[in-house]
Copies of this chain bind each other. A is one copy, B any other.
Amino acid sequence: MFPPAMAGYDRAITIFSPEGKIYQVEYAGEAVKRGWPTVGVKCRSGVALAAEKRKISALFDSSSLEKIYIIDDHVAASPSGLLADARILIDYARDIALSHRFLYDEPIDVEFLTKAVCNLKQQYTQFGGARPFGVALLIAGIDRHGARLYQTDPSGVYIGYFATAIGAESGTITEFLEKNYKFDIDMGECVELAVKALASAVEVTDSSSVEVAYATLEEKKIKKMSADEVSALLAKLGLLKKS
Contacts and interface: CB of A to CB of B under 8 A. Distances in A.
Interface string A49-65: 00000001111110111
Nearest to A23: B18
Given A122-B88, A177-B59, A5 B5 contact: no
A32 B20 contact: yes
A61 B27 contact: no
Interface residues of A, number: 81
A111 B42 CA distance: 33
Given A57-B178, A84-B122, A155-B84, A1 B7 contact: no
Given A8-B7, A11-B9, A16-B27, A59 B128 contact: no
Interface of A: 1-5, 7-24, 27-34, 42, 56-61, 63-65, 81-85, 87-88, 91, 111, 115, 118-119, 121-122, 124-134, 149-150, 155-157, 159-164, 174, 177-178, 181
6 contacts: A82-B155, A87-B118, A87-B156, A88-B119, A91-B119, A126-B131
